[in-house]
Amino acid sequence: MKKIITAIILLHSIISLSAQNKFAAEKSLLATINNNFTDAAAQYKLLKQQLPEGKFPKTYFPTTGKYEWSGSGWWCSGFYPGTLLKLYTQTKDTVLYNEAQRMLQLLKKEQYNTTTHDLGFMMYCSFGTDNSIQSSATDQQILLNSAKSLSTRFSPTVGCIKSWDGKPGEYLVIIDNMMNLELLFWATKTSGDSSYYKIAVQHANTTMQNHFRKDYSSYHVLNYNAATGAVIEKKTAQGYANESAWARGQAWGLYGYTEVYRETKDKKYLAQANHIAQFILKNPHLPADGVPYWDYNAPDIPHALRDASAAAIMASALLELCTYADKKNAALYFKTAEKILKTLSTSTYKAAAGSNGGFILQHGVGHMPNKTEVDVPLTYGDYYFVEAMIRYKKLTGK
């Protein structure tokens, strides 16, 4: 009996040792990451000083020194408080925490907003992060109300949550919408009401069926017939062309299906996330440093602009997906995420202290076809960069 117990303990130690080795941290990258948190905290204090009363940061134009702000209804409103809170967990700097709490007060009215599909981004990245730091009945009620508001946009006929309120006869769903499902999964776990879970799973299934091409790249926008659920059009809004692979859209899909696998443990979503990862990582147009051009089919590659926000989302997603993947893919995903984090930490992407209007990353592309937010900092680029660095530390046991 004693021998069996000793053997079990030995086996357990070998398994946990190899799990640790699988995701061994690079010491120099860890040092860089810790330094990045300190620098990012200083940058966000600068941003805080510039922020007009009642407004949320949107972007900054380095060439003119002008900012763009938004109200709480803009899809990005949760990223600034979310980033402050994530940075607080790393720095314990209460200036960041208090600023986040001030912003949450401005944001909370959006819990009743039924005109947007972006409530997951807006509320889960902010109130969800706050609730994860310290469990709060107030945050939980706000999140449940937000999930309820988001659910009103679901059509059982289409099998999707409506993204944009288009013209009559349009039922527009964008790949980005995969990111809003986390709020619904959380709502079922917290309330015990399975309707949120069912909506999230149905949305993921419909999107998996219709949004992807044979090579597992995705369209940006699908237009459904609201009365029958038939697909009418497959097109783009923010990408180069209807048949191109918009970089951030691919990153949203990767992150989204990784998250759906986490919540359901259904292997078909893991397979989907792996396929998307392979499309991205084997893409001949993905630069060696891991930061994609704004569209994998941009006509002016290799002179096309890069999108740091897509890279940050990819890094964060890969640092989760690597924990579910087989050994070979796990190593590939982990190493790729490391490479992206290193690239984003260089002076090419990480802003010098006091520059970039206080944002952390430079060179994001918001909406190229509209010529808006082109080659600028973006709140979501910062948010997922900070999230990815925290994930890296946690994964490597630091």
Catalytic residues: 118, 176
Q: Which of residues 238-297 bind ligand GLY (CB under 6 A)?
A: 238, 248
Cα–Cα distance for residue pair 72/110, rounded to 1 Å? 7
Q: By rule CB under 6 A, what count of residues binds ligand GLY?
A: 4
Q: Which CB atom, from 345 or from 379, has the smaller least distance to ligand GLY? A: 379
Cα–Cα distance for residue pair 80/67, rounded to 1 Å? 14
> What b/e sequence results for 289-324 when a residue is b if at least 16 CB atoms lie within 10 Å of its CB, and e otherwise?
bbbbbbbbbbeeeeebbbbbbbbbbbbbbbbbbbbb
User: Is residue 376 within 8 Å of 382, Cβ to Cβ?
Assistant: no
Least distance to ligand GLY, CB of residue 237, Å:
8
Cα-Cα-Cα-Cα dihedral of 260, 262, 267, 272, to 10°? 50
User: Is residue 212 within 8 Å of 218, Cβ to Cβ?
Assistant: yes
Paired tokens of 248: 């951030």
Q: Which of residues 361-380 bind ligand GLY (CB under 6 A)?
A: 366
Q: Which CB atom, from 37 or from 296, has the smaller least distance to ligand GLY? A: 296
Site string for ligand GLY, 313-352 (x = CB under 6 A): ----------------------------------------
Q: Which CB atom, from 366 or from 377, has the smaller least distance to ligand GLY? A: 366
Least distance to ligand GLY, CB of residue 64, Å:
22
| Coil vs helix vs strand at 107 | helix
Determine which residue in the list 93, 99, 139, 176 makes contact with ligand GLY, applying CB under 6 A: 176
Least distance to ligand GLY, CB of residue 98, Å:
29
Cα–Cα distance for residue pair 177/196, rounded to 1 Å? 15
Question: Bridge partners of 61?
Answer: 66
Least distance to ligand GLY, CB of residue 368, Å:
10
For 307, which DSSP code? -
For 112, which DSSP code? G
Q: Which CB atom, from 48 or from 220, has the smaller least distance to ligand GLY? A: 220
Q: Which CB atom, from 93 or from 110, has the smaller least distance to ligand GLY? A: 110
Q: Which CB atom, from 116 or from 362, has the smaller least distance to ligand GLY? A: 116
Least distance to ligand GLY, CB of residue 248, Å:
5
99 binds ligand GLY (CB under 6 A): no
Would strands 154-155 and 160-161 be described as parallel, antiparallel, or unpaired?
A: antiparallel
Neighbours of 43 (CB within 10 A): 27
Q: Which of residues 180-239 bind ligand GLY (CB under 6 A)?
A: 238
Least distance to ligand GLY, CB of residue 366, Å:
6
Cα–Cα distance for residue pair 254/217, rounded to 1 Å? 10
User: Is residue 370 within 8 Å of 57, Cβ to Cβ?
Assistant: no
Residues that bind ligand GLY (CB under 6 A): 176, 238, 248, 366
